[in-house]
Amino acid sequence: MKTLLTAALSAVLAAAIASPVVAQTPTAQEMRERLEKSLVLGPTAIEQMGVRHLWQQRLIMTEGTTALRGWMRGDSAFVLDSLGGLSRLSLQDGAVIWRSEVVGPQDRVLGVHRGRLDGRDRVFVVIDSEFIQLDGTTGGLISRKPSKEYLSADCAVAWPYLIFACASGRVVWFHALLGVIHHQGLVNGAIRGTPQVVGNEIVAAGTSGEVAGFIKDDARMLWRRNIGPVFGRLAEDTAGIYAASTDQSVYCLDRQSGKTRWKYFTESAITGDLSLFGDALLVQIPSEGLVCLATDSKGNMDGVRRWAAEAPGTIAGAIGPNIVVVDSATRTMRLLELSRGGLVATLPMGGAHDLTIGAGNDGNLLIVASDGRVQLLEPLGAKPKPSSLKIIPASKPSAEPTEAEGEGSDEPADDDAGEP
């Protein structure tokens, strides 16, 4: 009996050795389900948004740390975490270039900017009371300079200056490389929004209702104009300055003189930001919803409203012909047609904590999840990248770039040009 059992086991073992195990290839449905779980925004959201996945990286963070926000600057992404760590990633393939811990966990970071100054790559972290300058190649600390006043919002960039506004109404030209204040302007009332760069001009508006234009190079005042109090961000293009006021109006002002070109009256005060996409000006109006106004009113002094839609939230940017509105209250994203305001899709945010969209129809989408996953998407109309559909596991930062990568033209990196 024992001999028969031994023979049977030997036969089974021999058969197992003779027949190698064949790995089961996952089906398309199984692969899709895996991607839905592993990606911050999975295939369902990607298809409806009209984008494609390029790569996803997971940052190494200590337990209890969360990723907060991302910025795209030139060929890199910068991601801030709750411990004050700032990571630089390559937009080409998601590789981590460096991580710097120079920001305090309690500091309120308003912006990250990058430029080539004095022949070297520089990164500037703007917090509400200080400017931190980092070496763009290594992430090493170069300097910390106090702003002397609390900043109301992020800076405008006109290299070598970072131009910021204060609650005192001052508009300040801070020389980023030297760390000193070169010029100042003054607007009556506290300034809540970021000053706007319009060609060779800087424009800012105060809560007193005064809007003023300054020469970008030396802060000389070009014009002043009183409208209603302004609490949000202005918008601008080559034709005009656009401001939304608590006097229930949206204004279009002439760039050269500040005179009113048109004025759109609403039933409620407006305190939010303006967003400009081509010839379409978008604003959230409590009594009307999300409203699209034509920048060129064709001589109509009352302005021209193209459409209104029920789409609460913050305008993140444009993806091809659609705009993306993020509603943090319901954790959803809405895609609307820019041409007529029609609803294209309503999508859950999923694991996304922050969403940044680059300027223009070919702008990338940088998605940051609280757990440290960072995902890069691009519109379908953009030229495909070789790194498409890449998922990068958690890894240590890559080797520091060589000195040659920091050399080249003295021209600044394309930092904020075209931001809405």
pLDDT-derived band at 18 (thresholds 50, 70, 90) equals low
Q: Are 336 and 343 in contact (CB under 8 A)?
A: yes
Rounded CA-CA distance 152/128 in Å is 7
Kindly report, residue by residue over 231-276, the tens digit of the pLDDT.
999 999 888 999 999 999 999 999 888 999 999 999 999 999 999 9
pLDDT at 4: 46
Mean pLDDT value across residues 23-51: 88
pLDDT at 415: 57
pLDDT at 249: 96
pLDDT at 3: 56
| Residues belonging to the chain | 420
More confident of the two residues 149 and 79: 79
Mean pLDDT for all residues in the chain: 85
pLDDT-derived band at 152 (thresholds 50, 70, 90) equals confident
Rounded CA-CA distance 83/306 in Å is 45
As given in the structure block, the two tokens for residue 121 are 């790559």
More confident of the two residues 409 and 115: 115
Mean pLDDT value across residues 269-291: 94
Q: What is the dihedral of CA 247, 249, 252, 258, to 10 degrees?
A: -20
Nearest to 293 by CA among 275, 302, 280: 280
CB atoms within 10 A of CB 362: 12
pLDDT-derived band at 368 (thresholds 50, 70, 90) equals very high
Q: Are strands 130-135 and 67-73 parallel, antiparallel or unpaired?
A: unpaired
Rounded CA-CA distance 46/98 in Å is 29
Q: Which residue has the tokens 């050795």?
A: 17
